[in-house]
Amino acid sequence: MTAWLERQIPKMVLAPSFVAVLIFVYGFIGWTAWVSLTRSRLLPKYDLHGFIQYKRLLASPRWDTAMDNLFVFGALFIGISMLLGLLLAILLDQKIRVEGVLRTIYLYPMALSMIVTGTAWKWIMNPGLGLEAMVRSWGFESFSFAWVIDPKMAIYAVVIAGVWQASGFVMALFLAGLRSVDGEIIKAAQVDGIPGWRIYSAIILPSMAPIFLSAFIVLAHLAIKSFDLVIALTGGGPGYATDLPATYMYAMAFSRGDIGQAASSAMVMMAVVFAIVVPYLYSELRAKHD
Amino acid sequence: MDPILNIKNLSKSYGQLEILQEINVAIDRGDFLVLVGPSGCGKSTLLNCIAGLEPISAGSISIDGRDMTHVSPKDRDIAMVFQSYALYPTMTVAKNITFGMKVRGVDTATQARKLDEVARQLQIEPLLNRRPGQLSGGQRQRVAMGRALVRDPKLFLFDEPLSNLDAKLRVSMRSEIKKLHQSLGATMVYVTHDQIEAMTLATKIVVMKGGIVQQIGTPAEIYNHPANLFVADFMGSPAMNLIPARTRRKGQETLIEIARAEGDPMLLAGPDGSDLPQDIILGLRPEDIAEAGFRSGDRVQAAQCRIDLVEPAGADTYVVSQLGGRQVTARLHAETKAQPGAMLELAFDLAKVSYFAPDTGERLN
Amino acid sequence: MTDFISSTGLPAASRAPSRPAQIALRWLLFTLLGVFALFYLMPLFVMVTTSLKSLEEIRTGSLVAFPREITFEAWRTAWSGACTGIQCEGLRPYFWNSVILAVPAVLISTFLGAANGYVIAQWNFRGANLIFSAMLFGCFIPFQVVLLPMARMLGLMGIAGTIPGLMFAHVIYGIGFTTLFFRNFYVTVPGDLVKAAKVDGAGFFRIFWSIFLPLSLPIFVVTVIWQFTQIWNDFLFGVSFSQAGTQPVTVALNNIVNSTTGVKEYNVDMAAAIIAALPTLLVYVVAGKYFIRGLTAGSVKG
């Protein structure tokens, strides 16, 4: 009996967390999924009405903007962060004496809250007193930089702040990847007389494919969830020009009192995340079993 | 007297996969049992089952007459030395050794006395305040032994304890373990894949393959009378020569016919009045084939063989010849005049021969 | 923070063909690195200098100019006088809210993660890997999908709008990552250690306490830093699950910046932003190595 009890201890230790995850992750996803199929407005209703909320979502110009923004923001944020991160990593990989200091500088934004980042960039990009005013004071009177208040450009302002925050992190990932390439392969290539840039392009970068993938996944994940940055930088505005699905969902849930819309938009967000993450997780877990 | 360790009909399986099948082994107090076999044969699993670290699917294990089948490891009165040594990395050597006593609530005076004893015995007194990370492989090995010794258990279990040491250290630790066994008179169960370790240490060997016991016996029995082709091939280095042959009856006599690379088949006298089948495999250890004139005995028979390869190995010289379509190795004295390509008369000691059935692999004589 | 990656860069010889070209390339390299360093430092510099200027100087001076006259007035206001809506008590109460929230939430989720990781890595039982996968999956969901039911659940539990309620949410949704961290650390510990300790007579908790916890210091630091950064910097849970008076510092900062009453005090905004950022920045400067390890472990492996 005691031996049996002893064998159950590990399960009993894991059980509370497992139950919590079951309820608070899977149960809640189920709840949201259910509610997204009802006519819920201010209060949740539980009788199913098919895809009515999703139809409303598709018909909503605001949601349309949010999805467009997600793709523009996502593509630019991921693309630029990757390129910049890779460039920085390669530059730092050239036996620089002050590498440690530079690395610290490039990476510190990652330690900040997106609210702080948004606040700082909102001030820098402030048309009246920020960069615009500064460049004008240098004599370029016609210089204009008012992205944060321009509905067409505001989303690009969010991209700048996002890249500033996350690119250093991509740099750290890539740098670790560059350093983990088998030194003997590089030596062999050097002995073969292959020039340095060819060693990068033909040997080192291809061997880093998994790191590209990881960086992409992380950035995509950040892009889809990014909420704080938009709130702090533009508040979703001007109008709802910089709305993302995350801010749309929040607005529906907490200011518009439209629970059905909030639930269905959250489900779409989850679908997008899983479309990207699940194949990756699957391959990761499978690779571990081999 | 009851056996100190008695394993009856032990089986273990993971779902469909049978890891151990119908194992029956018993040893007496003071025995040194070695479980030997290639990797994946189930020997380590069997040891873990004896320790109670893995549950068994069927059968029973008793230690010193007590049924231990469902008893947890801590109550089995055993100590174990692991392949990786498994020293607790954050504890000093002294703490590592006394941890088991501390857990069991042994008073500190006794702990100190026993630690002192063991440290002296294993000559690790200067290491007591170091951490495992600061020790060499050989030192860690000693500490792991110390942790087992201090417990003074009914059974010592060793899981390939020497396989992480370099060749020289392995040999010296091997003799130390043997000395320890003799001086303590303790009962030990020892797992290894190294047949030389098995031969040198054991009083009793269990040869395993694929979760099935192939043979149980003293080192001499295993070496001289291997129960099947697997044991014959696995135990001994260089391995036993296993030569395909045919039997031929000539009145009362049985003749054994072995094809040679050139010329007529070689004919050897078979055992009298035996009923060997037509196709057999003849097993003869390299040391039982000598240069003619260097081996005497009433069943020694000589034959001319062409030598393909000569390998001097210091104390001995190995020569290789083609017999029955196989490379056959003979162990000659160091000063042999054997030349590759030349003929040499080799003497076969048929008193030592083993016969096996080619289909089942079982021993026939 | 200096050597989390050992250098295996290419030797200079293979990089550049001739001496003058080599020197030019080297200069280009340092110029580029310097420009990027300025890009990353600029916002911090602007924040600090702006926070030390008077409003008058902000209106007349340049964004990147050093303050002519240093004043800590904005800091004082940000800490104890700025308006977050109707109240004008500055960031101070919210800063302490965040501290009261983060410390227990970090500790609880870290210990749960340690225990879970220990079980999954070392006491594997049938189904443990499935449970682990289920928890891992939870790390990836966009939290929007649980926001509504969590808000209702906190209400049902009677802790809606309270710091314990927010703490609860952070602990629940932090377990996935903390478990992942510890599990990935503990799987590298040879399983023989548990076996040896079992033979020595130790049980589940004894082995955890005497053998595994003492070796876990590095992963504890990594996990604590990760969780602290996550929880301190969180905005979504803070804004969704708290109410006036229990809000964390990020929410209060956003309220200060976006409050529409009175004159826009940019220097106060910047001082408040720095105050809100200070704890995590400090952690980064002091324990950057562990911070990076958490980031890469949390992303590459997770």
Q: With beta carbons under 8 A apart, name residues in chain B contacting C193.
A: 86, 88-89
B192 within 8 A of B34, measured Cβ to Cβ: yes
Binning pLDDT at 50, 70 and 90, where does residue C18 land?
low
Contact B99 C200 (CB under 8 A): yes
Residue A263 covered by a domain = yes
What pLDDT score does C170 carry? Answer: 94
Subunits with at least 3 CB pairs below 8 A relative to chain A?
B, C
What pLDDT score does C301 carry? Answer: 42
Mean pLDDT of all residues in C188-208 = 91
Q: With beta carbons under 8 A apart, name residues in chain A contacting B72.
A: 3, 6
Residue A28 covered by a domain = no
Same domain, B94 and B180: yes
What pLDDT score does C260 carry? Answer: 66
Element holding B253 (H helix, E strand): strand B253-258
For residue C201, give the nearest of B82, B83, B104 by CB distance: B104
CA distance, residue B82 to nearest chain C CA (Å): 7
Phi-psi label, residue B42: left if phi above 0, alpha if psi -120 to 50, beta otherwise: left
Q: With beta carbons under 8 A apart, name residues in chain B contacting A3.
A: 70-72
Q: Which amino acid is at A263?
A: A
Please state, in angstroms and rounded to a whole number, the distance separating the CA atoms of residues C232 and C249: 8
Which residues, numbered 55 to 84 in chain A, qualify as contacts with chain C under a Cβ-Cβ cut-off of 8 Å? none
Is residue C197 less than 8 Å (CB to CB) from chain B? yes
What pLDDT score does C193 carry? Answer: 92
Mean pLDDT of all residues in B202-230 = 94
Residues spanned by the domain of A258: 53-289
Lowest mean pLDDT among A30-34, B334-338, C233-237: B334-338
CA distance, residue C230 to nearest chain A CA (Å): 9
Please state, in angstroms and rounded to a whole number, the distance separating the CA atoms of residues A235 and A238: 8
Same domain, B207 and B91: yes
Q: With beta carbons under 8 A apart, name residues in chain C contacting B74.
A: 198-203
Is residue A136 less than 8 Å (CB to CB) from chain C? no
Distance between terminal CA atoms of chain B?
33
A77-110 exposure pattern, b = at least 16 Cβ within 10 A, e = fewer: bbebbbebbbbbbbbbbbebeebbebbbbbbbbb
Contact B71 A3 (CB under 8 A): yes
Mean pLDDT of all residues in B24-29 = 94
Q: With beta carbons under 8 A apart, name residues in chain C contacting B77.
A: none
Determine the residue among C98, C145, C182, C188 to mutate to test chain A binding: the one whose Cβ has the most chain A Cβ atoms within 10 Å: C145
Whether this model's ipTM surpasses 0.90 comes out as: no
Please state, in angstroms and rounded to a whole number, the distance separating the CA atoms of residues A41 and C301: 40
Provide the domain count of chain A: 1
Same domain, B247 and B170: no
Q: With beta carbons under 8 A apart, name residues in chain A contacting B71.
A: 3
What pLDDT score does A225 carry? Answer: 74
Q: How many CA atoms lie within 13 A of B120 on its CB side?
A: 6
Residue B297 covered by a domain = yes
Residue B365 covered by a domain = no
Query: Number of residue pairs across A and B with CB atoms under 8 Å?
Result: 4
Please report, for the domain that includes residue B286, its CATH number: 2.40.50.140
Query: Looking at domain C92-301, what is its CATH homologous superfamily?
Result: MetI-like (1.10.3720.10)
Tokens of A283: 């391959």
Subunits with at least 3 CB pairs below 8 A relative to chain C?
A, B
Which residues, numbered 244 to 303 in chain B, qualify as contacts with chain C under a Cβ-Cβ cut-off of 8 Å? none
Contact C41 A105 (CB under 8 A): yes
> Residue C3: is its pLDDT beyond 60?
no
> Residue C4: is its pLDDT beyond 50?
no
Look at residue A152 and give its three-state secondary structure: coil
Residue B121 covered by a domain = yes
Same domain, B84 and B43: yes
What pLDDT score does C297 carry? Answer: 67
Residue B363 covered by a domain = no
Please state, in angstroms and rounded to a whole number, the distance separating the CA atoms of residues A201 and A180: 16
Is residue A91 less than 8 Å (CB to CB) from chain C? yes
Mean model confidence pLDDT for chain B: 90
> Residue A38: is its pLDDT beyond 90?
no
Q: Name the domain boundary from B234, B249, B283.
A: B234
Higher per-residue confidence, B131 vs A42? B131
DSSP state of C11: P
Higher per-residue confidence, C2 vs A68? A68
Alpha helices (H) in B131-206, listed in sequence order: 137-149, 167-184, 195-201
- Cβ neighbours of C205 (radius 10 Å): 11
- Which chain A residue has the Cα nearest residue C283? A111
Percent of chain B clearing pLDDT 70 (strictly above): 99
Q: With beta carbons under 8 A apart, name residues in chain C contacting A186.
A: 8, 10
What pLDDT score does C261 carry? Answer: 66
Q: Name the domain boundary from B234, B252, B271.
A: B234
Provide the domain count of chain B: 2
Lowest mean pLDDT among B192-196, C127-131, C293-297: C293-297
Binning pLDDT at 50, 70 and 90, where does residue C15 land?
very low
What pLDDT score does A32 carry? Answer: 92
Please work out, in degrees rounded to the nearest 5, the angle formed at the alpha carbon of residue B217 by the alpha carbons of B25 and B230. 100
Residue A39 covered by a domain = no
Binning pLDDT at 50, 70 and 90, where does residue A285 land?
low
CA distance, residue A3 to nearest chain C CA (Å): 11
What pLDDT score does C17 carry? Answer: 53
What pLDDT score does B226 carry? Answer: 95
Residue B364 covered by a domain = no
Contact A123 C47 (CB under 8 A): yes
B217 within 8 A of B204, measured Cβ to Cβ: yes
At residue B269, φ and ψ (nearest 5 deg) are -75, 130
Mean model confidence pLDDT for chain A: 86
In chain C, list all ranges with CATH 1.10.3720.10: 92-301
Mean model confidence pLDDT for chain C: 85
pLDDT tens digits for B237-277? 889 999 999 888 877 778 888 888 777 888 888 877 667 88
Q: Name the domain boundary from B192, B215, B234.
A: B234
Same domain, B207 and B269: no
CA distance, residue A9 to nearest chain B CA (Å): 14
Please report, for the domain that includes residue B106, its CATH number: 3.40.50.300
pLDDT tens digits for A44-81? 788 878 888 898 888 889 999 999 999 999 999 999 99
What pLDDT score does C299 carry? Answer: 55
Binning pLDDT at 50, 70 and 90, where does residue A287 land?
low
Q: With beta carbons under 8 A apart, name residues in chain A contacting C236.
A: 227-228, 246, 250
What pLDDT score does C166 carry? Answer: 94
B235 within 8 A of B363, measured Cβ to Cβ: no
Same domain, B75 and B177: yes
pLDDT tens digits for A125-142? 888 788 877 878 777 877
For residue A116, give the nearest of C138, C234, C273 by CB distance: C273
Please report, for the domain that includes residue A121, its CATH number: 1.10.3720.10
Binning pLDDT at 50, 70 and 90, where does residue C101 land?
very high
Binning pLDDT at 50, 70 and 90, where does residue B300 land?
confident
Contact A17 C288 (CB under 8 A): no
Contact C112 A17 (CB under 8 A): yes
Alpha helices (H) in chain C, listed in sequence order: 19-51, 55-60, 73-80, 92-122, 128-140, 144-156, 163-186, 192-199, 204-207, 213-215, 217-233, 236-241, 249-258, 266-286, 288-296
pLDDT tens digits for A214-262? 888 888 888 887 888 998 888 877 888 889 999 999 998 888 888 889 9
B131 within 8 A of B91, measured Cβ to Cβ: yes
What pLDDT score does C13 carry? Answer: 43
Q: With beta carbons under 8 A apart, name residues in chain C contacting B151.
A: 200
- Cβ neighbours of B129 (radius 10 Å): 10
Contact B73 C214 (CB under 8 A): no
Residues spanned by the domain of B85: 5-234
